[in-house]
Structure 1
Amino acid sequence: MCRELEKGHRRKTIFTLQLTSPFKNSGEGKNNTAMAPHDLRRPFKRPAISDQQKRRDLSLLRQTQNRRDAQRQARCLASTVLSLQSQGSEPTSEPEEPSVELDLVPEPEPDPEHQTSDLDVRQAAKLRGAEARRWFARQLMLPEWMIDVPDHLSRDWYVFARPAGKRCFVVSSNGTTISRLRNGSLLHRFPSALPSGARTKGNSCSAQSYCILDCIFHESDQTYYVIDMVCWAGYSLYECAAEFRFFWLNSKLVESGACEPPSFYHKYRFDLVPVYNCDQAGLHTAYSGPVPYVKDGLLFNNKHAHYQTGNTPLALVWKDENCSQYVIDTDSKGQVPSQQQVVLELQVDGKLTTSDDPPVVFGCLETDFIQKSGLQSGNLLRFAINDGGLSFGDGKLEKADMQYLGKVNRARAFADSYSKIVFQYAVRHSPLRVEDLFASISSLSEQDNITRDMEMVG
């Protein structure tokens, strides 16, 4: 149940919320001096302000289990088919079992949103308007923001400098290529050298031969920088590890001619992003090395991660002032607001949640305020974090002091993720610095050397 909001937090015409997470008690009376800025000079092992590492481990375990389930299902299917074939070829003297009629309960009609969620990209390409936007808005894999340094960073992760620009899906199918932004709206429709991307004799692929790329469109040089490959020539890479997807991407994209300069049948150029192992040399090159585009932070990918839609802790974004122009979020005018602003989604019961799955509950609004303000479930609402800030305990948010500002622009499709809110809060108070990342890699390398020495001695 939602906790009641204290009336003492209403201030004249300003509506201020002291929001309490349902994970724990409000934490009142606890010593919160650990959150003071002057006490936050941390080494790379920071106090737990999230359960990001735990969720990373769970995501990898879930992938393994899903793979085992799929293999078991395939074996059962093959075994059943072979069994039926053998039964059909040999006569049997056993009497047939009497058939049993079952009273089947008719399934409820699925709503349109669930119907469109099961479409593949070729079917989705036929959608128009709001249906198309909703479908494509759910397809991108969205990185979490790096709140803590992952375990085994140098061994299990890639890193690259993320291009500044518009994140989008690029889909080539049936002789045309389209790109759609993160909110699902159409960016470009154009011919390309991708499989089935243009109506040319040399690119006459079957209807099954489509391509899906995860890209960032870099405005200044009109280039799509490809950061991941989801499907290629009809072959799905969703359940392939990032290590294989990146290898396939580097092998296939150049061969297709998509990296060639623009031409009549290839309107925009595509380009690869240099990807490095996240060791000392790779991290230094990604962070400080020259690239042909404007950097917007670093992107880290777990080598074993599959391509999963929505937010995932197996892909992480990190920024500082040296590798991004926009470390702290700006307002609609491009200015850094004096207070951190967050966007949350209003639920039917008044709860305010993030875009995570499952969502993180920051608190709830009173029914009277919802009715007087004309708010409805599903609305995205903007809040400012007040002087009380965010309080954490055991990797969980315990308390948030926030002030309601109003609804957000309709063009926005999602609330903020929990990791983004916490990252932005840490940037203003105690940022995770690049020195922390290098220190983590050095520490892990020393531990690996010690382990190898012990194994040799043993």
Structure 2
Amino acid sequence: MDPFSTDSLPLFQMDQRETSPDQQPDETYYIIDMICWRGYSLYDCTAEFRFFWVNSKLMETTAGDPPSTYHRYRFSAVPIYECTLQGLQAAYSGSTPYVKDGLLFYNKHAHYLAGITPLALVWKDEACSQYVIDTDSKGQVPSEQHIVLDLQEDGKLTTSDDPPVVFGSLDNEFIQKSNLRPGNLLRFAVKDERVKLVDGKMEISELQFVGKPNRARAFADSHSKALFQYAARHAPLRIEDLVASIQSNNMELESTDVEMQG
């Protein structure tokens, strides 16, 4: 499936909780998705219905009202757009009351899936995100790509995918000497010359141990994130590429319509 198909993917702006130094917090929680409402599960509902439900329920309640003595914060849904050229432009260039951190693409027919799924994709560039390339613990962009992996019982270093992708391994001597344990998340640096792309997959011949990531980190990187970070440094997917994909899809749909009419 074309990940930018106008038939299958609505597009909307991704919320980022942080604010820039010159922007004051507006005491608002911005809702990206909803999976439960008053005990009613929305896991088996399509993304399109969940987005409709969010907006409907916000209108029915006082949750979207300005903060008052009864509730300190308000809730607001992020804007959602159909994945057309007009929708893409609005999401990409439109102003928001929060700091954007990229664009999210959802398959509007898909049910909610926990974990990593190709049915929900994130894309970003410098124009719509402050953090296109991952930073280190000091907030600086490292000279080499960093990747966070999960240490397994057998010493293998894996991504958070299911099934996980193995990017390397550590020997028992290094694990014991460094006081590491299975389940630890570990940060590694990757030299460009140690990376190969084979059939759309990333292969790393050597990892350099950097240390443990921030304690707030809950999961290892996914393969798709590692691949996106590599591409962002060398051959990023640009907004022009997204536009071209939508235009190509529109041409295919028009051609199909003509054939059916004929």
TM-score, normalised with respect to structure 1: 0.54
Q: Distance in 2 between matches of 1:264 and 1:290?
A: 29
**What residue in structure 1 maps to residue 16 of structure 2?**
164
Is 1:155 the counterpart of 2:1 in the alignment?
A: no
* 8 A contact 2:157–2:166 mirrored in 1: yes
TM superposition shift of 1:294: 1.4
Is the helix fraction higher in 1 or 2? 1
* 8 A contact 1:370–1:376 mirrored in 2: yes
Question: What is the 5 A alignment of 1:21-420?
Answer: 150=3, 153-165=5-17, 220-420=25-225
Which residue identity is paired with 2:259? M
Tell me, what secondary structure is at the counterpart of 2:6?
A: helix
* 8 A contact 1:385–1:400 mirrored in 2: no
1:266-322 Cα distance to aligned partner (Å, 9 max, x none): 110111111001011101110011222211110111101111211221111110011
1:365-423 Cα distance to aligned partner (Å, 9 max, x none): 12222222221111111100113242121223333432111222333211111111111
* 8 A contact 1:388–1:401 mirrored in 2: no
1:17-64 Cα distance to aligned partner (Å, 9 max, x none): xxxxxxxxxxxxxxxxxxxxxxxxxxxxxxxxxxxx6xxxxxxxxxxx
Alignment gaps of 5+ in structure 1: 1-52, 54-148, 167-217
- Flag the structure with more relative contact order, 1 or 2, with Cα contacts below 8 A and sequence separation at least 6: 1
* 8 A contact 2:187–2:211 mirrored in 1: yes
Give runs of ≥4 in structure 1 deviating > 4 Å.
Answer: none
* 8 A contact 2:15–2:32 mirrored in 1: no
Which residue identity is paired with 1:164? Q
Change (3 A) 1:412 1:219: farther
Q: Distance in 1 between matches of 2:118 and 2:17?
A: 22
* 8 A contact 2:168–2:206 mirrored in 1: no
- Which deviates further from its counterpart, 377-386 or 332-341? 332-341
* 8 A contact 2:168–2:207 mirrored in 1: no
Tell me, what secondary structure is at the counterpart of 1:305?
A: coil
Change (3 A) 1:390 1:219: farther
Which residue identity is paired with 1:259? G
Alignment gaps of 5+ in structure 2: none
Q: Distance in 1 between matches of 2:144 and 2:115?
A: 28
Q: Distance in 2 between matches of 1:159 and 1:401?
A: 37
* 8 A contact 1:165–1:219 mirrored in 2: no
Question: What is the 5 A alignment of 1:424-439?
Answer: 424-439=229-244
Tell me, what secondary structure is at the counterpart of 1:410?
A: coil
TM superposition shift of 1:232: 1.4
Which residue identity is paired with 1:271? S
Q: Distance in 2 between matches of 1:236 and 1:299?
A: 22
1:55-75 Cα distance to aligned partner (Å, 9 max, x none): xxxxxxxxxxxxxxxxxxxxx
Q: Distance in 1 between matches of 2:247 and 2:154?
A: 48
Which residue identity is paired with 2:214? N
Which residue identity is paired with 2:64? C
Q: Distance in 1 between matches of 2:151 and 2:26?
A: 39
* 8 A contact 1:155–1:279 mirrored in 2: no
Change (3 A) 1:233 1:286: same
* 8 A contact 2:33–2:54 mirrored in 1: yes
Larger radius of gyration: 1
